[in-house]
Amino acid sequence: MGSERDGGYAEYVTAPAEQAHDVTDSPLTDDQLAALPTAYGTALGMIERGRLRRGETVLVSGASGGVGLALVQIARARGATVLAVTSRSKTDAVRAAGAHHVVDRAEDIAGQIRAAAPEGPDVALDVVAGGLVSAVLPLLREGGRWVVAGALGGYDVSFDVRRLYLHNAQLIGSSMHTPTHFGLLMDLARRAEIQPVVATAFPLDRAADAQRELARRDHVGKLVMHP
């Protein structure tokens, strides 16, 4: 909705009944529920395709963004040890969302990951790509999974392919969530096992202000508009 289908900035919308989910009993606020569908759905799709299991170590890039913060929260709820890459100014917010270790993206990322997880991550959940792939892919454990759902750092990626096949690693693309993934997400919402972070809310007639706030990228969490 708002992409293939009109209706993102509207007071009333229609949707197929099978795509409507009853969350009446969820303890989450309306604003938190409104923040779920795209970012948290995309994040859960990445986690499901990466087969993240309890007790594994996961690396999350772009951790202060909408999808990144969702990845941190859901991975923590899954019982994983979370290493999150973000800017220094957003460290506290990312740690509050559930990250066990925060990696400063402006410093030696590989060195910080080695210090926090000497055996390397089992899974990387990546919305940045670019140079991060060549720098960190060699740190994956044997049989590790690298899941990509974005290219904030650049789409032209190079890496030593021997690292992929000699260590039985997997490179997995993930775009949107499936209806099954979204059903799992709604189950999490009903139990409040995740707490979506809302940066601020705007009335619908201030949509332009919300867009400007989004473009500045100074916020942590989602921007919500009230019809």
Cβ atoms < 10 Å from Cβ of 79 = 11
- Averages of pLDDT over runs of 10 residues in the chain (227 residues) are 78 87 94 90 95 97 92 95 94 93 93 95 96 94 96 91 94 91 91 89 94 89 90
pLDDT confidence of residue 76: 95
pTM for the model: 0.89
Cβ atoms < 10 Å from Cβ of 87 = 15
Residue 89 CA: distances (Å) to CA of 95, 97, 150: 12, 15, 22
pLDDT confidence of residue 217: 84
